[in-house]
Structure 1
Amino acid sequence: MSITAATKVFGIIGDPVGHSLSPIMHNAWIADHGLDAVYVALPLKSDDPTAAIRAMKGLGFSGLNVTVPHKEAAAAAADRSEGAVANVLRWEEDGSVSAFNTDGAGFLDALSETAPDWRGRVQRVLMLGAGGAAQAIGQALSPHVVTIHFANRTAARAETAASAIRNGRVLRWDDLERGFGAADLVVQTTTLSMDGQPEQVWPLDYCRPTVIAADIVYRPLETEFLRAARARGLLGMDGLGMLIHQGARAFDLWFGIKPDTAKARERLIAALK
């Protein structure tokens, strides 16, 4: 493709972003629809990310995805936001910035693909982690379930996440066995599954056989958490589904186009290989 001054620039900001598959996914969708746009990965290291994101207003971006650790800063930096955590920014015609969060809805889309009957079988959720993604997923799941327990190594973050939803609760990190035993859906949102992290032994043996185990990490695609869950006979959901569906919703916010999610999965699996 030819990049000119008229080409719209989109991207992903975070620290780190070198592992992100979003450029492959979005640039392929851009090509599918013949759009004059490009999507790039931009590492953002800053002691004041809110100010850094506000300073990007004059740089000509049309839209950005936001990943860890800048989702709260992105919401704060925008002129208008749907909530306190954002993973999508959109520059409007008047130069203002709107913030959205597609993580939660993207997770539900992926969950419905993996387990179409989940609404009838999930009443109690255990959320491992309490960062921006966990909060967004919790917000999305909250109207459909009875309770959501947040377990986080830093207890204060779990308390903040739990207090933001009507049926949020806190589970102590040293009480995971009880949490796994009570849950219908366990969602792993921490970085503990990522490549290069120390191995974490999860108490999946305490799970009932009907439990759904979801990991939002996609590098590696088959995490130790998922491998152990599937060895236990549990239904597992990898992180590609959420990545693709939150990205598809972002693409729609930017272009008004619903892209092909099945094609995206084929492309990303090939890229991971």
Structure 2
Amino acid sequence: MSITAATKVYGVIGDPVTHSLSPVMHNGWIADHRIDAVYVALPLRSDDAVVAIRALNGFAGLNVTVPHKEAAAKAAARSEAAVANVLRREDDGRFSAFNTDGQGFLDSLTESAPSWRSHVRRALIVGAGGAALGIGAALSPFVDTVHFANRTADRGEQTAASIPNGRTTRWDDLERAFGHADLIVQTTTLGMAGQPEMAWPVSFCRPNAIVADIVYRPLNTPLLTAARDRGLKAIDGLGMLIHQGARAFEIWFEIKPDVAKARQRLLAALG
């Protein structure tokens, strides 16, 4: 496909963003459907991310990753949530904002553990950023409680307070929290390539606990390795990346892309 002045530009913004596999995924789908568009990764570092996002006039749509999800919601003329990971350019030239993180996670969870709703009553989310909030809000109607454990306690309390059945767990009480949870979702950068690792208290987990990590570089994080060593159901971050991306693609193009093809391409890109 040749790029012309008529080609629409989409992309992912964040800091850092050079590790992102979103260009591989979305450009693959764009090619599948012969759409005159291109998708790029754009590092965005700014003291005023709201202003910086509004200035991205050349983009027809954007995915948004850390640390700009709250700014993306504020930068949009219309937003369905307080944090956003998808922006779409409207006919009036302004952005509308959406959050596909939560539903994308549920899609991935259901794909990997179809019967999870029958036994997950207490969810533990490690972290309290935009992805944690999106996932917590999506899980909230299906579980009794959603507990957040965050290194910065104030941020954890703020995130938990935004969900009707949200609760907080002290960071120094992770052993008890892991032991009580039916579902554990790790949403921080801990374990990501180039980031610090942590000795997670997986030995305290229940025998039927599900452990998910939204990190996908590396695909097998220390948390997931420890979970598999315990014989627990472990879900890598590639599923959420694909499913939240598929929902974004549908928002932009009104087309449901092939998630199986995306996984094949991303696994090849990861080597």
Count residues in correspondence: 271
Give 1:198 shift: 2.4
- 5+ residue gaps, structure 2: none
Residue 75 of structure 1: aligned partner: 73
In the alignment, does 2:236 pair up with 1:232?
no
In the alignment, does 2:22 pair up with 1:17?
no
- Which residue of 211, 216, 220 corresponds with 2:218? 220
- Which residue of 230, 255, 258 corresponds with 1:260? 258
Residue 32 of structure 1: aligned partner: 32
Residue 84 of structure 1: aligned partner: 82
Correspondences of 1:40-79 after superposition (within 5 Å): 40-56=40-56, 59-79=57-77
Deviations 1:129-156 (A, max 9, x none): 0000000000000000000110000001
SS at match of 2:265: helix
Residue type at the aligned position of 2:183: L
In the alignment, does 2:86 pair up with 1:100?
no
Instruction: Using the aligned pairs only, state the percent identity.
Output: 72
Deviations 1:208-255 (A, max 9, x none): 110000000000000000000000110000000000000000000000
Give 1:60 shift: 2.3
- 5+ residue gaps, structure 1: none
Give 1:97 shift: 1.0
Q: What CA distance in whole angstroms lies between the structure 2 residues aligned with 1:3 and 1:251?
A: 19
Residue 270 of structure 2: aligned partner: 272
Residue 198 of structure 1: aligned partner: 196
Correspondences of 1:154-173 after superposition (within 5 Å): 154-173=152-171
Residue 131 of structure 1: aligned partner: 129
Q: What CA distance in whole angstroms lies between the structure 1 residues aligned with 2:194 and 2:77?
A: 37
SS at match of 1:193: coil
Q: What CA distance in whole angstroms lies between the structure 1 residues aligned with 2:67 and 2:237?
A: 18
Give 1:199 shift: 2.3
Deviations 1:77-109 (A, max 9, x none): 000000110000000112121000000000000
Q: What CA distance in whole angstroms lies between the structure 2 residues aligned with 1:192 and 1:246?
A: 21
Give 1:113 shift: 0.4
Deviations 1:105-132 (A, max 9, x none): 0000000000000111100001000000
Q: What CA distance in whole angstroms lies between the structure 2 residues aligned with 1:193 and 1:256?
A: 35
SS at match of 1:262: helix
SS at match of 1:192: coil
Q: What CA distance in whole angstroms lies between the structure 1 residues aligned with 2:154 and 2:192?
A: 23
The alignment's TM-score, normalised by the length of structure 2, stands at 0.99
SS at match of 2:62: strand
Residue type at the aligned position of 1:54: R
- Which residue of 135, 148, 160 corresponds with 2:146? 148
SS at match of 1:149: strand
The alignment's TM-score, normalised by the length of structure 1, stands at 0.98
SS at match of 2:141: helix
SS at match of 1:136: helix
Give 1:197 shift: 2.0
Residue 7 of structure 2: aligned partner: 7
SS at match of 2:93: coil
SS at match of 1:162: helix
SS at match of 2:55: helix
Q: What CA distance in whole angstroms lies between the structure 2 residues aligned with 1:224 and 1:23?
A: 26
Q: What CA distance in whole angstroms lies between the structure 1 residues aligned with 2:96 and 2:60?
A: 11
